[in-house]
Each structure stands twice: as C-alpha cells, then as structure tokens.
C-alpha cells in the first residue's frame, strides 16, 4: 500500500513538473510572446529537425511569411581549441568580450587593407584561369566542369594566402586536396543541427566525461599553429615578403600591442575564424552570381556588354570593377536573393523587427532575381536613387548588421568584383543542363551543388 502511494506520488510529481514546464514555456518564457510552431514552444527538437532536413533557409522565409517580422534567439556554439572552449568573434555573446577581441585586429579588415590584398587576388585569378584552361578548355573531349567546386578552390586558396601566406593548393591541383573541403562540409553538417539544441552539443561534445575521451588532435588548429610558426620564422630571418601585409602579420602586431588579450591561442583562433568565415561564404556568393548570369539571358547580355564596352585589363582591377555599375547590381542582387549564411547568428534587432525578402523596400516581385532594382529608375532623381540604394543595403542582412557586421565584407567584395568579370573576359560559360535547378542544402551555410558547366575559351 505504502509502495503504491509512493509510486503515485512520484508519477504525480512528474506530471506536475511537465505541466509547470509547459505552463512556463507557453506563458512566461521571454520568447513566449512570439508566434511560431507549437512544438518549438516546448523543445529545441523542432529546430534540430528543421536544420537536419537541410532546407532551413526556406523554413525561415515561410515562418516570416506566416508570422510576420519576429526574430527568435539561440545560444551560439563554441568549439574546443586545445583544452579549452574557444570563443571567437562570432560565438561570443558578450559585447565586452566581442569588442576586446575585435579592437586589436580591426585594421586588418579595413577597406585600405582589403585593397592591399589585391595582388594576392590577382595571383589566384591567374592560377585559376590557367588551370581551367589546361584542365578543361584544352581537353580533347568536351567535358563538363564542376564550376561550383572551383569557386571553393579559389575562395579557400585566396583566404589561406591572405591569412598565412600559403595556399592550400586547391587551385594548383584543381582538386580538393586531402578531401579537406569535404571534411569541413561534413563537420558543418553535424554542427548545424547540433547547434540548434545546445544541451545535445553539451551531451555529445562538451561534458566532462566526453572531454576525458575525446580526440585531442584538432588538425585544423595544428595546421594553423605550424603555419603561424613558419611565418614568425620567416619574419625573423627576413625571408618574408614585406608586402602585402598578411592577416597573420596584423595578428602578431596585435599580440605585441595587446599581450593581455591576444595570446598564441587567440592568434590560432583569429586565423582559423578567417578561413571558416571567409571561404565558403565567398564561394557561395560567387556560385550564385555565375549561376544567375548563366540562367538569365538578359542579365548575361547586359553584363557582357558592360564589360566589353569598359575593356578592363586582365585580371580586372578593383578600380576598373568600380566602373561597372551593372556588375555591382548583379552582386548585390545575388547576395540578397541567396545570402550565403543560412542560420544568421541571431542578435537583438530593432523593436519593429527586420525583414529581408518581403520588405516593400525591394520593389515589385521581391523573390525574383532582378539586378535592375539596384539601378536608377527612369523617373528617379540621382538623390532619390542614392537614398533608395542606401536603404536597400541597410535592409540586406547578408553581412549581418550593427556592431556584429561582417568584418570581411570589403575584402569579399574585392575578391568577387574582380573574379567575375575576369572569368567572363576569358571564358564562355554555359550550364550543361539549363532546365535543371541547382541543388541547395542549408545549414550554417546555404551550399549549392550540381552546377556543371561547359567552359570554352573566347
């Protein structure tokens, strides 16, 4: 009798706990005033399942359409670096830590520094065009080229040279050396859904027991540490080229000037953050631009005509690219229609909320790819146009906004605005199957695949 009462007591307590939890989540949780899917009110499993389905970029848009301008929040993830959890510019939620990490290295990401990197971008464009010509164009059989993969080879190699002074060798070899890109993609596929349920991340990777048995060899961090040492040695013995100044040179200066904030481990984190933040994002933007240009005959004709008239040099300089307004419109529109980051790090937004695709600011048919929306309309004055474009750029969240805006945005635009016209000067690019859509899989990055292209020399 006593046992039975005790069992009922335990059962009743469990039911009460569940009811109290449901009551709290539904009525008192700080986010409970926001509408959304019912299951998401009670568990992060909804988010986990959505991201694991790899189409979360579409779910977010559908939710905005259904519920209006609301924005949820989440706990970002941090990974192990050595024996400690590594906080980087992205993953720290604390504003003071963020500005402490940002301030010592901000100049490395300035527009002036981005332009100093131009010779590195040129070097990579030349390597890419030469290798595409040798491997694809000159090949005896007309074979399709996975242009999307080449965009990754380019963005990873450019970022590696700018960061450490040494390419991964993807462009040179025309392949994913040691399957490094594939392994990073696979890791992202695990982390993306995991990061939606912080307790799952703790259970699988961060708790004390897992920590005892986990594999401590972080190959990426080890590679970064050895490249940093190599650069330090070259700087010490005078064999390092003084210009352009690489990211690592800026980071080492930051260490000298702010030794209490920037230690050896922080430098490793800065460099690996650069590769993680600045490679896939640029590759995705480049794929969107080229895909849209190949798919829309009117856009292609207009862009090619603009480039033909301007007769820029090869590789196209940043200054020349600045004189191609339609190219700029194509870039802006591509970043708007397919933002590379699929799970934007959720931040505090203005009280009235923020909206991307539906906002009236975009003009008619916001879901259609239409670079002309960025150009001056016939009945618009120059001032009105400047004001409208500035407002559209503010509304475009591809690079984030506010104090957390992407630090590499200038640099990415330099890489993109130079490569696109340079490729179009040298090659005629045609999709192998014009009717077939590319394949998009979303997580932290909204990656595209199946973009096979025929490349002919011009």
Strand stretches in 282-381, DSSP E? none
Q: Across the strands, what pairs with 439?
A: 449
Choose among 213, 123, 134: nearest CA to 418. Answer: 123
| Pick 40 or 406: Cβ nearer ligand HEM | 406
Q: How far is the CB of 284 from ligand HEM (least distance, A)?
A: 7
Residue with tokens 């995991």: 194
On the CB side of 230, CA atoms within 13 Å amount to 11
Q: Which residue is nearest to ligand HEM (CB)?
A: 408
Residue with tokens 């100093």: 116
φ, ψ of residue 84 in degrees (nearest 5): -125, 160
Q: How far is the CB of 404 from ligand HEM (least distance, A)?
A: 4
- If one asks whether residue 90 binds ligand HEM (CB under 6 A), the answer comes out as yes
Q: How far is the CB of 281 from ligand HEM (least distance, A)?
A: 3
Write each residue from 268 to 287 as x if it is in contact with ligand HEM (CB under 6 A), else as -, in one continuous string: -----xx--xx--xx--x--
The piece of 29-37, 54-62, 311-319, 398-406 that touches ligand HEM (CB under 6 A) is 398-406
Q: Are strands 446-449 and 145-146 parallel, antiparallel or unpaired?
A: unpaired
Choose among 449, 443, 440, 439: nearest CA to 189. Answer: 443
The piece of 43-51, 302-310, 361-369, 400-408 that touches ligand HEM (CB under 6 A) is 400-408
Q: How far is the CB of 35 from ligand HEM (least distance, A)?
A: 23
Write each residue from 96 to 125 as x if it is in contact with ligand HEM (CB under 6 A), else as -, in one continuous string: ------x-----------------------
Q: Which of 170, 399, 427, 444 binds ligand HEM (CB under 6 A)?
A: 399
Q: Give the footprint of ligand HEM on residues 325-344 (CB under 6 A).
A: 340-341, 344
| Pick 392 or 455: Cβ nearer ligand HEM | 392
Q: Which of 79, 104, 315, 408 binds ligand HEM (CB under 6 A)?
A: 408
Q: Which of 78, 412, 422, 441 binds ligand HEM (CB under 6 A)?
A: 412
In whole angstroms, give the CA distance from residue 15 to residue 21: 10
Q: Give the footprint of ligand HEM on residues 415-454 (CB under 6 A).
A: none
Q: How far is the CB of 114 from ligand HEM (least distance, A)?
A: 8
Q: How far is the CB of 376 from ligand HEM (least distance, A)?
A: 25
Tell me how many residues contact ligand HEM (CB under 6 A): 24
Choose among 91, 289, 65: nearest CA to 198. Answer: 91
Contact 337, 369 (CB under 8 A): yes
Residue with tokens 């929040």: 73
Write each residue from 219 to 258 as x if it is in contact with ligand HEM (CB under 6 A), else as -, in one continuous string: ----------------------------------------
Residue with tokens 């959720």: 346
In whole angstroms, give the CA distance from residue 429 to residue 300: 10
Burial 405-431 (b: 16+ CB within 10 A, else e): ebbbbbbbbbbbbbbbbbbbbbbebeb
| Pick 61 or 310: Cβ nearer ligand HEM | 61
Distances (CA, A) of 207 to 76, 190, 200, 210: 17, 17, 10, 6
| Pick 238 or 402: Cβ nearer ligand HEM | 402
Q: How far is the CB of 283 from ligand HEM (least distance, A)?
A: 9
- If one asks whether residue 347 binds ligand HEM (CB under 6 A), the answer comes out as yes
Q: Which residues contact 327 (CB under 8 A, 6 or more apart)?
A: 303, 306, 307, 321, 417, 420, 421
Q: Which residues contact 135 (CB under 8 A, 6 or more apart)?
A: 174
Length of the chain: 458
Q: Which of 124, 262, 329, 411 binds ligand HEM (CB under 6 A)?
A: 411
Query: Contact positions toward ligand HEM, by CB under 6 A?
Result: 89-90, 102, 273-274, 277-278, 281-282, 285, 340-341, 344-345, 347, 398-400, 404, 406-408, 411-412
């Amino acid at each position: 009798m006593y046992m039975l009462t005790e069992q009922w007591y335990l059962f009743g307590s469990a039911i009460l706990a569940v009811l109290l939890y449901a009551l709290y989540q539904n009525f008192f949780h700080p986010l409970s005033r926001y509408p959304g899917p019912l299951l998401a009110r009670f568990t992060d499993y909804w988010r986990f399942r959505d991201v694991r389905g790899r189409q979360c970029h579409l779910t977010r848009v559908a939710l905005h359409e259904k519920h209006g301008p609301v924005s949820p929040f989440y706990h970002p993830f941090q990974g192990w670096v050595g024996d400690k959890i590594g906080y980087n510019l992205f993953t720290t939620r604390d504003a003071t830590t963020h500005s402490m990490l940002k301030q010592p290295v901000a100049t490395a990401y300035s527009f002036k520094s981005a332009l100093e990197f131009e010779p590195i971008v040129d070097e990579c464009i030349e390597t890419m065009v030469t290798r595409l010509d040798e491997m694809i164009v000159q090949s005896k059989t007309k074979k399709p080229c996975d242009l999307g993969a080449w965009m990754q080879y380019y963005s990873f190699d450019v970022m590696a040279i700018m960061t450490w002074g040494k390419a991964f060798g993807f462009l040179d070899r025309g392949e994913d050396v040691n399957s490094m890109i594939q392994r990073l993609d696979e890791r992202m596929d695990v982390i993306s859904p995991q990061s939606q349920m912080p307790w799952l991340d703790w259970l699988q990777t961060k708790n004390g027991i897992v920590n005892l048995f986990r594999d401590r060899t972080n190959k990426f961090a080890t590679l970064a540490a050895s490249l940093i040492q190599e650069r330090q040695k070259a700087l010490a013995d005078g064999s390092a080229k003084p210009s352009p100044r690489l990211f690592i040179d800026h980071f080492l200066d930051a260490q000298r000037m702010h030794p209490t904030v920037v230690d050896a481990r922080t430098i490793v984190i800065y460099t690996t953050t650069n590769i993680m933040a600045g490679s896939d994002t640029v590759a995705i933007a480049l794929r969107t631009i080229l895909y849209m240009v190949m798919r829309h005959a009117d856009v292609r004709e207009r862009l090619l005509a603009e480039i033909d008239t301007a007769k820029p040099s090869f590789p196209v300089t940043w200054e020349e690219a600045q004189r191609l307004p339609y190219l700029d419109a194509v870039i802006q529109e591509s970043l708007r229609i397919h933002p590379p980051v699929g799970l934007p790090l959720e931040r505090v937004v203005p009280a009235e909320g923020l909206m991307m695709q539906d906002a009236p600011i975009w003009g008619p048919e916001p879901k259609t790819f239409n670079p002309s929306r960025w150009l001056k309309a016939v009945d618009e004055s120059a001032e009105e146009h400047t004001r409208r474009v500035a407002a559209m750029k503010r509304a475009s969240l591809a690079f984030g906004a506010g104090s957390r805006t992407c630090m590499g945005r200038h640099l990415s635009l330099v890489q993109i605005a130079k490569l696109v016209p340079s490729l179009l000067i040298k090659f005629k690019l045609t999709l192998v199957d014009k009717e077939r859509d590319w394949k998009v899989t979303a997580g932290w990055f909204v990656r595209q695949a199946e973009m096979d292209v025929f490349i002919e020399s011009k």
